[in-house]
Amino acid sequence: MLDALHSRIADKRDDLVALTCDLVAIPTINPPGDAYVPCAKFLGERLRRRGFEIAYIRGTDTPGDSDRYPRMNVIARRQGSRPGPCVHFNSHIDVVAAGHGWTSDPFTPVVRDGRIYGRGTCDMKGGLAASVIAMEALIEAFPDLPGTLEISGTVDEESGGFGGVAHLAAQGLFSRPRVDHVIIPEPLNKDRICLGHRGVWWAEIETQGRIAHGSMPFLGDCGVRHMAAVLNAFETELFPALSERRTEMPIAPEGARRSTLNINSIHGGMEEDFDGLPSACVPDSCRMVIDRRFLIEEPIETVKAEVTGLLDRLATSRPDFRYRIRDLFEALPTMTERDAPVVLGVAEAIRSVLGKEPDYVISPGTYDQKHIARIGHLHDCIAYGPGILDLAHQPDEFVGIDDMVDSARVMAMAAHGLLTAGRA
Ligand SMILES: [Zn+2]
């Protein structure tokens, strides 16, 4: 029986390539959130023709939403002939800007040497197309399958997911009893199951000084020099401490298997965009944005206290040191248990299709699983899809066609197993 499923997916190879190309050709660049409506409609109308009920849900009043750039999501739902669980495939339809360095037009997909090149092929329209083809083949091979299949195309993952999965989760669309198992086809490789991600905390630190004439800096107080003291404390105390901190989370790549901190930006003194010469001033402020990625072993309160503690020590030891710190964004680490049903189902499908044990990984960065866990309280969720994460957001991004076909077979088998679990 499952052989019929695999041969159907093999037969749909050209359809899979064409669907990926069609999706890539819709330039859903975020920011600003271009072409979300045509992309959502393209996906929704295709699945409507396959018997899915379609809902278009706009992330009204979410960051970036406007009549010019509506945050349009689509959920396709197909209820089977008999009751049963619901398996949901969630893909983001937004892509990051093309950037420089492309050898062909990023939104005119090129099929060459068994690969499709274009912005979003890997992250993650190839995965979206694989899940669509997998579900279409599954329905054709098993028309009276019990349970419910859902496929969603959601927006804004690249900018936090607030107009997309977070918005839908707040409406109960990623919670039981509506949904039981979620697979997110992010590009984690066809033989890997991604159980979750590290935590993230973004904050802005400002060191404050006093403006004065640049010829007499002793009359002022330089905010940039205070920030240099912060950076020095980071170098001598914080970075060494973070690099010592190891985790039990199986994060890939290996280098991310510890706590990290990126200095996202620093601005001090004169604005950067001006014509002519700068005016002679002592900077009265310097601002730095930090991007701290943390481990499941680290409570977020400790993560924050480590930074504020360092700043407080500077305030007592360094004359005139004053600072402000402001939270910008945070998400807790999440890690689905290895014996969760969706993990077992996809692992079994990988063994069957690829003839090997799956690798279990954790993503260094977050993705929409955070909203499904925190807002939807649904923990039977993983990322699984074709493509190599390192290629995401790069010029000449590509996805391998064989990898897409293989992962479509895994997705279809896994969905079949989850829908028929406990049944003959
Ligand atoms: Zn992605």
One digit per residue, the tens of pLDDT, for the chain of length 424 reads: 688 999 999 999 999 999 999 999 999 999 999 999 999 999 999 999 999 999 999 999 999 999 999 999 999 999 998 999 999 999 999 999 999 999 999 999 999 999 999 999 999 999 999 999 999 999 999 999 999 999 999 999 999 999 999 999 999 999 999 999 999 999 999 999 999 999 999 999 999 999 999 999 999 999 999 999 999 999 999 999 999 999 989 998 888 999 999 999 999 998 878 888 889 999 999 999 999 999 999 999 999 999 999 999 999 999 999 999 999 999 999 999 999 999 999 999 999 999 999 999 999 999 999 999 999 999 999 999 999 988 989 999 999 999 999 999 999 999 999 999 865 4
Locate the DSSP E strands across 84-221: 86-92, 110-112, 115-117, 148-154, 181-184, 192-197, 199-208
Centroid of ligand 1 to alpha carbon of 203 (angstroms): 23
Report the pLDDT value the prediction gives residue 273, as an integer from 0 to 100: 80
- Per the rule left: phi > 0, alpha: psi between -120 and 50, beta: everything else, 340 is beta
| Residues measured by CB to lie within 5 Å of ligand 1, the ion | 123-124, 186
Centroid of ligand 1 to alpha carbon of 362 (angstroms): 14
Report the pLDDT value the prediction gives residue 389, as an integer from 0 to 100: 87
**Longest pairwise C-alpha distance within the chain:** 85
Centroid of ligand 1 to alpha carbon of 124 (angstroms): 5
Report the pLDDT value the prediction gives residue 2, as an integer from 0 to 100: 82
Exposure string of 186-222, with b = 16+ CB inside 10 Å and e = fewer, is bbbbbbbbbbbbbbbbbbbbbbbbebbeeeebeebbb
Centroid of ligand 1 to alpha carbon of 8 (angstroms): 27
Centroid of ligand 1 to alpha carbon of 122 (angstroms): 8
- In the chain, what are the domain boundaries? 2-197+334-420, 199-331
Report the pLDDT value the prediction gives residue 423, as an integer from 0 to 100: 56
Centroid of ligand 1 to alpha carbon of 158 (angstroms): 7
Claim: this prediction has a pTM higher than 0.85: yes
Centroid of ligand 1 to alpha carbon of 130 (angstroms): 14
Q: What is the dihedral of CA 234, 235, 241, 243, to 10 degrees?
A: 120
DSSP secondary structure code for residue 384 in this structure: -
Contact 270, 209 (CB under 8 A): no
Centroid of ligand 1 to alpha carbon of 70 (angstroms): 20
According to the CATH classification, is domain 2-197+334-420 in 3.40.630.10? yes
Centroid of ligand 1 to alpha carbon of 28 (angstroms): 13
CATH of span 199-331: 3.30.70.360
Q: Find all residues with CB under 8 Å of 105, minimum gap 6, and list them.
A: none
Centroid of ligand 1 to alpha carbon of 229 (angstroms): 37
Centroid of ligand 1 to alpha carbon of 1 (angstroms): 33
CA distance 58 to 162: 11
Centroid of ligand 1 to alpha carbon of 352 (angstroms): 26
Centroid of ligand 1 to alpha carbon of 93 (angstroms): 9
CA distance 102 to 81: 48
Q: Find all residues with CB under 8 Å of 29, minimum gap 6, and list them.
A: 35, 94, 95, 96, 97, 98, 119
Centroid of ligand 1 to alpha carbon of 91 (angstroms): 8
Report the pLDDT value the prediction gives residue 422, as an integer from 0 to 100: 63
Centroid of ligand 1 to alpha carbon of 235 (angstroms): 32
Residue whose pair of structure tokens reads 């601002």 in the numeric block: 287
Written as six digits, the tokens of 280 are 């002679």
Q: How open is the CA angle 194-196-202, to the nearest 5 degrees?
A: 130
